[in-house]
Amino acid sequence: MSETPLETLRRHRPRWDRVGERAVEGLIRLCGYSAILFVLGIFLFVFREGAPLLPKLDWGRVLLSPEWYPTSRMHVRYGVAAMIAGTLSVTALAMVLAVPFGLGAAIFVSEFCTGRVKETLKIVIELLAAIPSIVWGFIGLSVTNRLIQTYLPAPVGLNLFNAACLLALMSVPIIVSIGEDALKAVPDSYREAALALGATRWQTVYRVLLPAARHGLLAAVLLGVGRAIGETMAVLMATGHANQFPRSLFDPIRTLTATIAAELGETAVGSDHYRMLFVIGLMLFTITFIVNLLADLAVRGVRNKTG
C-alpha cells in the first residue's frame, strides 16, 4: 500500500502532459510573485532616488512649515505642511461626499433593485469607474469650475470643493461595487429571518445587513480613500494648485501628488529638488500603505467572523 490511486494515475499520463502542467504552474507562480517584485522594486526605486536627501532634511521644518521654495536662490525651503493639509482636506471632503452617496447606492443596488434596473445600474457604475482622470480634470476645469463660480460664493472655481467633488465622483464607483459585494455576501437567511419577523426592508438593512457587512463596507470606504489620495491629474487641474493652508471650502489648494506631477519634469535629475519630490513620493507611499493595510485588516475581520 505504498501508492495512492492518485499517484498511479499521475504516472500513467503522457510525459509531455506532466511537463506542460509543470510549466503552466511555474508561469502562474511567477505571475503571482511578480506582483511582490514590482511593488518592492518601485518602492526601492523611489527610496533610492529620495534617500540621499533624507539625512539632510530638517524634518520639523518639512512637516510643519508651508514654505515650499525648492528653487529659491537665497534660501531653499522644503516645507510640505500645506500640501499635506491640502491632500488630507481634499480627501476628507471627498469622502464626506462620497461615503453616504456610495454606501447609499450600494444598498440601493444590492437590496432594493432587481433584474434589469440592477444590471443597468451596475454597468453604468462600472463605466463611471472607467472614465480616465484627465477627463475628470477637464470637467473640473470647464464644467464644475463655471458652476461653482456662478452658483456658490467662491471667488475662484478651481478650489478644494471643486476637486473634492471630482474625487468623490471617482471614488463612488469603487465604494459602490465593493460595498455591493459586501452586502451580497451576507447570507440570505439573515434577510429572511428579519423579514419573517415583520421587518421592513429598510429595517432589515440597518438592523441586520449593515452590521453584518460592516467589515466589507469599511474596506470599501478605505479603498475609496486610497483612490482619492493617490489621484493626481484631476486634482492638479481642479484644485487651483495654490500652496496654502485651506481656510474655507472654496480656497485653492495644492496636493502632494499634484506637486510631483507639476514639478518633476522641471528638475535636474539628482538635484535636491528632484530628490525632495521623491521624498514626497515616499510619504504618499506610506499613507496609501497604511490605508490599504487598514482595508485589508477590515476584510480579514470579515473572514474571521464567518470562517
Partner 1 sequence: MDAPEYSITTRGLNLWYGQFQALVDVSLDIPARRITALIGPSGCGKTTLLRCFNRINERLGYVTTRGEIHVLGRNIYAPDVSLLELRKAVGMVFQRPNPLPLSVYENVVFGLRLHHRRGELPRARLDAAVEQALREVGLWNDLKDRLDTPATRLQLEQQQKLCIARLLPLKPQVILMDEPCSALDVNGTRAIEELLFALREHYTLVVVTHNMAQARRASDECIFMLLGRVIEHRRTEDLFLNPRRPETAEYIEGRYG
DSSP readout, 97-115? HHHHHHHHHHHIIIII--H
The smaller minimum CB distance to partner 1, of residues 150 and 189, is found at 189
CA distance 95 to 242: 22
Shortest CB 306 distance to partner 1, Å: 9
Does the footprint of partner 1 cover residue 304 (CB under 8 A)? no
The residues pairing with 77 across neighbouring beta strands, listed in sequence order, are 69
Identify the residue among 34, 71, 72, 203 touching partner 1 (CB under 8 A).
203
Shortest CB 212 distance to partner 1, Å: 5
- Which position has the grid cell 451576507? 186
CA distance 17 to 15: 5
Shortest CB 182 distance to partner 1, Å: 14
Shortest CB 190 distance to partner 1, Å: 6
Does the footprint of partner 1 cover residue 195 (CB under 8 A)? yes
Distance of CA 256 to the CA centre of its chain: 15
- Which position has the grid cell 495512492? 4
CA distance 106 to 100: 10
Per-position x/- string for 112-151, each x denoting binding to partner 1 as judged by CB under 8 A, each - no binding: --xx------------------------------------
Does the footprint of partner 1 cover residue 208 (CB under 8 A)? yes
Does the footprint of partner 1 cover residue 189 (CB under 8 A)? yes
Does the footprint of partner 1 cover residue 190 (CB under 8 A)? yes
120 neighbors 285 (Cβ within 8 angstroms): no
Does the footprint of partner 1 cover residue 166 (CB under 8 A)? no
Pull the grid cell for residue 61.
521644518
Size of the site for partner 1 (CB under 8 A): 21
Beta carbons within 8 Å of 148's beta carbon, 6+ residues apart: 154, 157, 159, 161, 162, 250
Q: Which helix (H) or strand (E) holds 190?
A: helix 188-196
The smaller minimum CB distance to partner 1, of residues 115 and 153, is found at 115
Give the residues lining the site for partner 1 (CB under 8 A): 114-115, 187, 189-200, 203, 207-208, 211-212, 305
